[in-house]
Amino acid sequence: MPRDTGFPLADAENDFTRMRRQQVLSRLAAWLRREPDDVNIMLPFAEVVDALGRLSERRTGLRVIRLDSIVGSVDRTRDFDRRFRPTSGRVRERWQRLALAQRRGESVPPIDVYRVGDLHFVSDGHHRVSVAHALGLETIDAYVTEVVTRINARGIRHRGDLIVKDHRRLFLERVPLTGQARTAVVVCDPWDYARLGENVEAWGFRLMQDEGRFLDRATVARRWYSEEYQPVVTMLRQADMIGDRTDAEAYVWVAGERYRLIRTHRWDPEVLDAVRSSQH
């Protein structure tokens, strides 16, 4: 907890002033470092859930949660930054009233949050979270509603990460991989998920033509991974053509180059030699 002067009202006022100063300096530092605009922006709950795909939700009751797991808000993204520092003086009066109550040892009700993976989003209690940060607390009592989504929230740090998650969700709807295959096929550029989806669907169409029968998406996804993706990735590793890409990124790259250079769907050493030569 910050150093006390012995005068709770003055301390509460100092708490707010200190948090506002930190927020301004943080914004200035981000600008000087040319960081993306979303570095200090609170994550919006609705956008996160839409990107991940909501399946269900359930109340889990009163829990003790870590303050650093609270990264967003349901509807108050403008009043506080990502670390719940006030972004203006608009919330001063209510903020200082809560800080004063905390410093006097008065009871403060739990906040309400939604949990998505390991992340929490405040629906009620933004000022209480901000004051808790100012007082150096590490945990807070919260009524938790857990939201289950189609894809996990792992890797979300900033608002920009939602674009990748959204494209991955759409890709997995088109190519419903499961188990290890689902975990293995990962790209960083959201548009690579679109290119990969087109590639798999085209592969599946050729497979159905060859076999003269309809195959559902799950079957195409399973067979593409085992009959196309894994053998090609193995070839790329043996040819030392993965580089600093993920396996899936290397596959997308070489599949595109293969068709651009020699207009074929086959895989053999000639294909890899042509792609390798084109990079020099």
Mean pLDDT for the stretch of residues 222-236:
95
pLDDT band at 27 (very low <50, low <70, confident <90, very high): low
Q: Are 174 and 224 in contact (CB under 8 A)?
A: no
Measured from the Cβ of residue 62, the count of other Cβ atoms closer than 10 Å reads 9
d(CA 221, CA 50): 24
- Classified as helix, coil or strand, 149 is strand
- Report the chain's mean pLDDT, rounded to a whole number: 86
The partner residues of 43 in beta bridges, in order of sequence, read: 72
**What tens digit of pLDDT does each residue of 111-143 get?**
999 999 999 999 999 999 999 998 889 999 999
d(CA 102, CA 121): 22
Mean pLDDT for the stretch of residues 78-97:
85
Distances (CA, A) of 29 to 2, 77, 83: 23, 20, 15
CA angle 209, 212, 213 (to 5 degrees): 105
pLDDT at residue 61 in the model: 94
Structure tokens at 171: 């890709």
Whether residue 252 has pLDDT greater than 50: yes
pLDDT at residue 3 in the model: 61
pLDDT band at 39 (very low <50, low <70, confident <90, very high): very low
Whether residue 90 has pLDDT greater than 90: no
* Weakest mean pLDDT among 30-44, 163-177, 189-203: 30-44
The partner residues of 111 in beta bridges, in order of sequence, read: 142
**What tens digit of pLDDT does each residue of 138-173 get?**
999 999 999 999 999 988 877 778 888 999 999 999
Whether residue 1 has pLDDT greater than 90: no
Measured from the Cβ of residue 37, the count of other Cβ atoms closer than 10 Å reads 11
Whether residue 5 has pLDDT greater than 70: no
Q: Mention every residue, 6+ apart, whose C-beta is less than 8 A from residue 206.
A: 265
* Weakest mean pLDDT among 31-45, 86-100, 200-214: 31-45
Q: Which structural domains are found in the chain, ordered by start? A: 8-149 (3.90.1530.10), 175-278 (no CATH)
Structure tokens at 208: 């159905």
Question: Percent of the chain scored above 70 by pLDDT?
Answer: 89
Instruction: Read off the pTM.
Output: 0.70
Task: Please state whether beta strands 119-124 and 70-73 pair in parallel, antiparallel, or not at all (unpaired).
Answer: parallel
d(CA 114, CA 127): 16
